[in-house]
Amino acid sequence: MVLRRLRRALRPTPALTMEPTPDGAPKHGFFTEPVRVSSLEVLDPEPTEDGRHRVTFRVEVRDAEGRRCPELAVDATITGPERSRDVQAVTDLFGRVRMRMAGPPGDYRLEITDVAARGLAWDRDAGPLTVETSLPT
């Protein structure tokens, strides 16, 4: 038992990024219609062990009053130099979701195809739908 506690104490803890909980963000309940994609970003690419790159896109969803919308499904298509795939992810407490694709240098594109907003209307024209990046060779 003592050895078990000692082993647990010696395990390295993973690095965490703490973000404060937004005061005005509804955790449950109602959002103001329509919801919209408020931002699309390309984060810094990460090299992988096999010499390829991992491209990460971050999507943020907000309601009509600008509140973050957690637990909404976001559908998208990611296109890279080798392939294209349809992905779906659920927004976190901050209304954000990350979508990734690994591959060689080249052009990468994310296109939002749907936001399943629990019966709420999604205003497709109220925010960005696509974002692109190029990784040099």
User: Domains of the chain (ranges plus CATH)?
Assistant: 32-130 (2.60.40)
Nearest partner of 84 among 97, 98, 101, 99, judged by Cα: 101
pLDDT digits (tens, 9 = 90+) for 36-95: 999 999 999 999 888 899 999 999 999 888 889 899 999 999 999 999 999 999 999 999
Q: What is the pTM of this model?
A: 0.75
Output b/e per residue, 18-28; b: 16+ Cβ within 10 A: eeeeeeeeeee
